[in-house]
Structure 1
């Protein structure tokens, strides 16, 4: 079985196991801090266990890097790393806000740039995004590309959750210039929607994002033709460590990138 099919099957199983939980008491609970530093909720635990059980079932030789469970070695001779955020947007999921997802990716080495496959599933409806290196990006079996034309409305995705006052002040010109800014509470799903052409640029400069949050989005954005840069406007890359935090800008093209960055740099 190809790796992308393994990730897709694991993602489908997550959806089946958690689809009735959002907004219910069973979604919540407090299981302490996960490896990523956030409180683990019951829906997180169920979703991660679903993936781990499946990978063990098929004897997939890998090291799992989970948001909650941490590093789990499933083989002494792994083929690579499964990077897992089984529930991205846990707060939305617990409250029943229909915007949260699973994010699964596979990397051959300890680098973001070695990611070869990624799957993001919208867990509120089962819609799936996926990509494999040099094979294109897909949404429900239809190939997708970032938005290249001049849009009727420019939509700027921007994550400012927990941002410092300094960063808010730096970003203020963007809020003044663009009438349509968005953040829905799940970076992975927002990256997937950007790759589908529903946003023109997505910005997160808080230096808080973990690799688990963007691993699948990384390959999906790339395969959809998007630019993916760090805060210095270099090609985004990082190690897969739990202490690693990144900032990034995903842009549909150089024109929108230059336009928005010029507002930040004023």
Structure 2
């Protein structure tokens, strides 16, 4: 079984186990803070356990880096890392807002740039976004690409949750000049929508994003033809440490990247 097939099956099992939980009392609960720093909810715990149980069932030799469970070594002869955010958009899931997903990726080494496979599943409907390095990106069985034409409406995704006053000041010209700003509350699924061509650029400059949040999106966006850069406009890369926090920009092409980035106030980029 190929790695991508393992990630897909684990993702399907998450969907089956949590699809009826969203918005119910059973989705919530407070299980303390997970390895990623956020409060673990019951739906998070169920989703992570689903993946861990499956990987043990098939005896997959790996190290799991989970949002809640932290580092779990399933083998001393590891083939690489499973980077798992079993529920991205937990607040939406608990409240029943139909925008949350699972994000699973595989990396051969301790770097974002070594990711070879990724799967993001929309847990509100079961749609699966997936990609393997040099094989393209897909939504279910259909190949997807970033939007490469002049958009009728330029749609810009910006995550500003918990942003500082300074950052909001830097980003203000974008809000002032564009009426079509979006943020839905689950970075991984928003990266998938971007890869599908539904957003033209996605910006998160808060220095808050963990590797688990964007690992699967990283390979899906790249295989869909997107540009992925850090806050200094260098190619995005990072180690897989829990202490690592990332800022990034995903753009569909150089023109829209130059257009939007030129509007960000050059206080400190």
State the TM-score, normalized to the length of structure 2: 0.98
Q: CA deviation at 1:167?
A: 0.2
Within 5 Å, give how 1:9-24 maps onto structure 2.
9-24=9-24
Look up the SS of the partner of 2:262 in the other structure. Answer: helix
Look up the SS of the partner of 1:120 in the other structure. Answer: strand
Tell me what 1:120 maps to.
Answer: 120
The number of equivalent residue pairs is 266
Q: CA deviation at 1:132?
A: 0.1
Within 5 Å, give how 1:213-228 maps onto structure 2.
213-228=213-228
Mapped partners of 1:265, 1:90: distance in 2: 32
Deviation string 1:122-176 (CA, Å, 9 cap, x unpaired) is: 0000000000000000001100000000011000000000000000000000001
Within 5 Å, give how 1:1-266 maps onto structure 2.
1-265=1-265
Look up the SS of the partner of 1:14 in the other structure. Answer: helix
Mapped partners of 2:201, 2:96: distance in 1: 27
Mapped partners of 1:141, 1:60: distance in 2: 25
Deviation string 1:40-87 (CA, Å, 9 cap, x unpaired) is: 000000000000000000000000000000000000010000000000
5+ residue gaps, structure 1: none
Mapped partners of 2:197, 2:178: distance in 1: 18
Mapped partners of 2:145, 2:265: distance in 1: 28
Look up the SS of the partner of 1:43 in the other structure. Answer: helix
Mapped partners of 2:3, 2:181: distance in 1: 35
Look up the SS of the partner of 2:263 in the other structure. Answer: helix
Deviation string 1:9-39 (CA, Å, 9 cap, x unpaired) is: 0000000000000000000000000000000
Is the 8 Å Cα contact of residues 84 and 104 (structure 2) preserved in structure 1?
A: yes
Deviation string 1:101-123 (CA, Å, 9 cap, x unpaired) is: 00000000000000000000000
Q: CA deviation at 1:265?
A: 3.5
Is the 8 Å Cα contact of residues 100 and 189 (structure 2) preserved in structure 1?
A: yes
* Runs of 4+ displaced beyond 4 Å: none
Look up the SS of the partner of 1:263 in the other structure. Answer: coil
State the TM-score, normalized to the length of structure 1: 1.00
